[in-house]
Amino acid sequence: MTFLTLPAAAVAAHVDDFLTSATAACPDLSGHLDPLRRLTAEPPRVLVTGSSGTGISTLVEALTGTPYPETGGTVATVYSSADRAHPTGIPDTVQVRRIPGAALADLTFVVGDDPAATACADAVLYLVDREPLPADLAALRDAGFGPRGTVLLVSRADEFGAGSLGSADPVEDARAYARSLTPRPGTASSWSASVAVSPLLAVAGRSVAVDPDAAGRCARLASYRPAAVSATLLRGEVPAGMATDLDATGTYGVLRAGAAAEQGPATLSEWLTERSGVGDLRSELLGPLAQAALLRRAALVLEQMEQLRFTAEDPAALTAVLERPSSSPAAWRIRLFPETARLAAAGMDDEAALVARVVDADSLTDLARLPAGAAAVDVVNGLREQLRTVNLRLTGFTVPVVEAAYTAVSVVLRRAVAEAEAVLGGIPTATEHGLWEN
Ligand SMILES: Nc1nc2c(ncn2[C@@H]2O[C@H](COP(=O)(O)OP(=O)(O)OP(=O)(O)O)[C@@H](O)[C@H]2O)c(=O)[nH]1
Ligand SMILES: [Mg+2]
Look at the pTM and tell me if it is higher than 0.85.
yes
**Among 175, 200, 249, which is best to mutate for testing ligand 1, by the most ligand atoms less than 8 A from CB?**
200
Identify which ligand lies nearest to the alpha carbon of 277: 1
> What is the C-alpha separation between 163 and 175, in angstroms, rounded?
13
What are the pLDDT digits (tens) for 108-143? 999 998 899 999 999 999 999 999 999 999 999 999
- CA-nearest residue for atom 31, ligand 1, is 198
Q: At what angle do helices 30-41 and 8-25 cross, to 10 degrees?
A: 170
Nearest atom, ligand 1, residue 201 CA: 31
Strand order of the β-sheet with 150-154 is 95-99, 77-81, 108-111, 45-50, 123-128, 150-154, 193-196
Going by C-alpha positions, the residue among 63, 150, 131, 54 that lies closest to residue 101 is 63
Dist. CA 57 → ligand 2 center (Å): 4
Go through 160-188 and write b for each residue having 16 or more CB atoms within 10 A of its CB, e for each that does not. Answer: beebbeeeebbbebbbebbeebebeeeeb
> What is the C-alpha separation between 67 and 207, in angstroms, rounded?
11
Going by C-alpha positions, the residue among 190, 206, 219 that lies closest to residue 66 is 206
CATH topology of domain 8-198+277-287: Rossmann fold (3.40.50)
> What is the C-alpha separation between 189 and 175, in angstroms, rounded?
19
Dist. CA 261 → ligand 2 center (Å): 29
What are the pLDDT digits (tens) for 216-255? 999 999 999 988 998 998 898 899 999 999 999 999 999 9
Going by C-alpha positions, the residue among 32, 17, 5 that lies closest to residue 298 is 17
**Among 49, 57, 201, which is best to mutate for testing ligand 1, by the most ligand atoms less than 8 A from CB?**
57
Neighbours of ion ligand 2 (CB under 5 A): 56-57
Binding pocket residue ranges, ligand 1, CB within 6 Å: 52-58, 156, 158-159, 198-201, 250
Instruction: For residue 256, give Cα distances in angstroms to 235, 240, 267.
Output: 20, 19, 13
Dist. CA 63 → ligand 1 center (Å): 14
The CA-based angle 361-178-293, given to 5 degrees, is: 45
Dist. CA 75 → ligand 2 center (Å): 11
Given this model, what pLDDT does residue 438 score?
A: 44
**Among 58, 68, 197, 276, which is best to mutate for testing ligand 1, by the most ligand atoms less than 8 A from CB?**
58
Q: Are 127 and 155 in contact (CB under 8 A)?
A: yes
Query: Where does the pLDDT of residue 427 fall: very low under 50, low under 70, confident under 90, or very high at 90 and above?
Result: confident
Mean pLDDT, rounded, for 77-87:
95
Query: Where does the pLDDT of residue 332 fall: very low under 50, low under 70, confident under 90, or very high at 90 and above?
Result: confident
Nearest atom, ligand 1, residue 250 CA: 1
Nearest atom, ligand 1, residue 159 CA: 1
Q: Are 196 and 260 in contact (CB under 8 A)?
A: no
Going by C-alpha positions, the residue among 202, 205, 197 that lies closest to residue 178 is 197
Q: Domain limits of the chain?
A: 8-198+277-287, 202-276, 325-433
Least confident of 3-7, 45-49, 190-194: 3-7
